[in-house]
Structure 1
């Protein structure tokens, strides 16, 4: 069993210069797990679609206009979330991931809450997200944090689109 530790939420890049590989490692785990859940498991990062490999190879370039929030345990990144730059008064939450060894400690809730604070500071009117239908735990988390299901803006089957006013 993993030991309890304090987790800090920081914006990257900027406040967390010592965790340069943290976002890449977390994004790799996120995308590999998602591919497996879709029934399209791949042996490693090289088997992922190009757009996901690009996120892992250079998250700072791919998310240049966005904010990446990291949950840190010491100097180790144990969770991440991307908040997109506002478009038409809305930001989007993407890539929420907590290292499995650190789950059950409120890290995901803290990341989403920090994203909502950031959105409010950015003067957006709403935050939206999409989540795979089979991720019932994530959907329940988003509902607890005030998100509701809304009409889909994404053509991919099995996605649930949700939104929350800020």
Structure 2
């Protein structure tokens, strides 16, 4: 896997590479899941209250995302943003877990991660990149639209989830 760099955004893992969990990736994933549960009206006090599948990602990202590419934005040796690109299947990959430290938003970290995700997908021969986002995350929806993602028919049955995709 090639390592791409755009300011502070680097792909730090592809299949078979180490994850920087000690530098904050697990913390970013925990913040993502805790915030999402709260926004869905199912707030939990801490990681122990999250569903098993989310706790597994936080506890061991290496295993949870074993076949996927985990992109991490680093600043001062710490993870400040993350994004997962699933392994291609049928010419498609999916973006998951885009999250940036709330204190650092507005600095282009999410855009850098999306740029790196698109480049990664292109290098892998992915034809379509897709994602799902909660309807109330209007800033994220607008960001994805700026990157050429368009709303498409839902592949997920969860209420208030917007499904989007774009050609790579």
Q: Confirm or deny a common fold (TM above 0.5).
A: yes
Q: In the alignment, is residue 114 of structure 1 matched against residue 116 of structure 2?
A: yes
Give the alignment partner of residue 90 of structure 2, picking from 88, 93, 115: 88
Please list every run of 5 or more consecutive structure 1 residues that lacks an aligned counterpart in the other structure. 1-5
Conserved? CA contact 1:18–1:75, under 8 Å: no
Once the two structures are TM-superposed, the CA of residue 9 in structure 1 deviates from its matched residue by: 2.2
Deviations 1:13-69 (A, max 9, x none): 678766534221100000000000001000000000000000000000010000000
Deviations 1:127-160 (A, max 9, x none): 0000000000000000000000000000111100
Give the alignment partner of residue 150 of structure 1, picking from 144, 149, 152: 152
Number of aligned residues? 161
1 CA distance for matches of 2:81 and 2:18? Answer: 13
1 CA distance for matches of 2:21 and 2:164? Answer: 31
Secondary structure at 1:20's aligned position in 2? helix
Secondary structure at 1:77's aligned position in 2? strand
Partner of 1:125: 127
1 CA distance for matches of 2:68 and 2:111? Answer: 20
Once the two structures are TM-superposed, the CA of residue 12 in structure 1 deviates from its matched residue by: 2.6
Kindly report the root-mean-square deviation, in angstroms, between the aligned alpha carbons of the 2 structures.
Answer: 1.6
TM-score by length of 1: 0.92
Partner of 1:3: none
2 CA distance for matches of 1:117 and 1:8? Answer: 12
Q: In the alignment, is residue 12 of structure 1 matched against residue 28 of structure 2?
A: no
Once the two structures are TM-superposed, the CA of residue 101 in structure 1 deviates from its matched residue by: 1.1
Please list every run of 5 or more consecutive structure 2 residues that lacks an aligned counterpart in the other structure. 1-6
1 CA distance for matches of 2:36 and 2:125? Answer: 31
C-alpha change, 1:154 and 1:18, in structure 2 (3 Å) is closer
Q: In the alignment, is residue 59 of structure 1 matched against residue 61 of structure 2?
A: yes
2 CA distance for matches of 1:44 and 1:126? Answer: 35
